[in-house]
Amino acid sequence: MDDAEKERKRRQRMRSIAIAWILAGLAVLFFIVTIVRLGGNVANRPL
């Protein structure tokens, strides 16, 4: 594997890791925002 190919794979891996972090961050953000918007209604829902 030459240097150019190694560099291409390194950059691709870094991009993939960044996308994974962003997706994880968005999942957490959506969860928290949902809880905040629902407010106390989460506890008051019929079981």
Partner 1 sequence: MADAAISIAAAKIETGAGGDVADYVALMKPRVMFLVVFTALVGLVAAPESMHPVLALASLICIAAGAGASGALNMWFDADIDARMARTAARPVPRGHVTPEEARSFGAVLAVGSIVCLGVMANWLAASLLAFTIGFYVFVYTMWLKRTTPQNIVIGGAAGALPPMIGWAAATGGLSLESFVLFLIIFVWTPPHFWALALLRTGDYAKAGVPMLPVVAGAGATRAQILIYSLILAPLGMAPAVVGLGGALYAAAAAVLGAIFVVMAFDCYSKREGEAADRAAKNLFGYSVLYLFLLFAVLLVEHGFGIDGGSFVSFWAS
Which spans of this chain sit near partner 1 (rule: CB under 8 A)? 4, 7-8, 10-12, 14-15, 18, 29, 32-33, 36-37
User: What residue has token string 């991009």?
Assistant: 15
Q: Is 46 left (phi over 0), alpha (psi -120 to 50) or beta?
A: beta
Residue 11 or 45 with smaller CB distance to partner 1: 11
Residue 31 or 43 with smaller CB distance to partner 1: 31
Distance in Å, CB of 36 to partner 1, minimum: 5
